Structure 1
């Protein structure tokens, strides 16, 4: 048996990119910076070393959340790892993505969405009224 679960928290490194498949499924791609603390052997000081994690979210929630995420937003993410490989210019390449199942905002929104806030795969552009709550798949208390 193997377990494929990942939990990370960090800041978005760029505004998310929303695109749609030919069938109309929303695909939201973004990056999260996660710091790793380690001790510098030469100075004895603790240092933060950033790790940059590519994340992908699918479906209606991806479409909805695209309006609320922007570079610098602090989030907590739970998901699973997906490895992909391809060939470019005769060289094999690969990467590891986190496929997002759950996302939680850990910082308040400070005015406006991102540059992609008016794009949507399935929903009309949001009005200027207060944002609707983000839908969740289940409301299980912890």
Structure 2
């Protein structure tokens, strides 16, 4: 048995690139920088060393994520590793990439500013706040429509019967338990 699962979090190193295969499937490619902390042997200080990870996403989600993701955004990714190799100009090339199964946005970096007219016309406006109203049971009862006479007599609210206070039941006597008595 083998396990091929990857969890990384980091910042996008570039804007995603959306393309399509010959069969029409959408493919989204982007890079994520993941820091590794190591102690500098000369100074003794801890330093961050970036690892650059290529990520690929397929299908309809790739198309929708291509519109949302942008450079600098912090994301968490879950997926699997895929190794690819090919020949280019007589040289053997290879790469290891993450095939994205799940993606979560960890921060909302601001996108480039929209034109001024757009911000005024289409920016979300806060909902008007209504003054909070106090609910008054007496007013609600007085404003309720009158019920037919027979209904009032038959279904009028009656005072709740008062139950006599009872003592809590005593727990049964404890018998000693053995490991064999426990069902799990």
TM-score, normalization by structure 2: 0.60
RMSD after superposition:
1.7
Structure 2 counterparts to residues 121-140 of structure 1, below 5 A:
none
Unaligned runs of 5+ in 2: 114-121, 125-184
Structure in which a larger fraction of residues adopt helix: 2
Deviation at 1:112, TM superposition (A): 5.2
CA 129–99 in structure 1, closer or farther in 2 if over 3 Å, else same: farther
Report the structure number with the largest CA radius of gyration. 2
Runs of 4+ in 1 over 3 A off after TM superposition: none
Contact 1:12 1:71 in 2 (8 A): yes
| SS of aligned partner of 2:82 | strand
Unaligned runs of 5+ in 1: 114-127, 131-142
Structure 2 counterparts to residues 72-87 of structure 1, below 5 A:
72-87=72-87
Deviation at 1:24, TM superposition (A): 1.4
Deviation at 1:23, TM superposition (A): 1.7
Match of 2:177 in 1: none
Is 2:62 the counterpart of 1:62? yes
Deviation at 1:16, TM superposition (A): 0.3
Match of 1:51 in 2: 51
Deviation at 1:41, TM superposition (A): 1.3
The answer to which of 102-111 and 7-16 deviates more is 102-111
Structure-2 separation of matches of 1:129 and 1:24: 35
Total equivalences in the alignment = 116
Match of 2:174 in 1: none
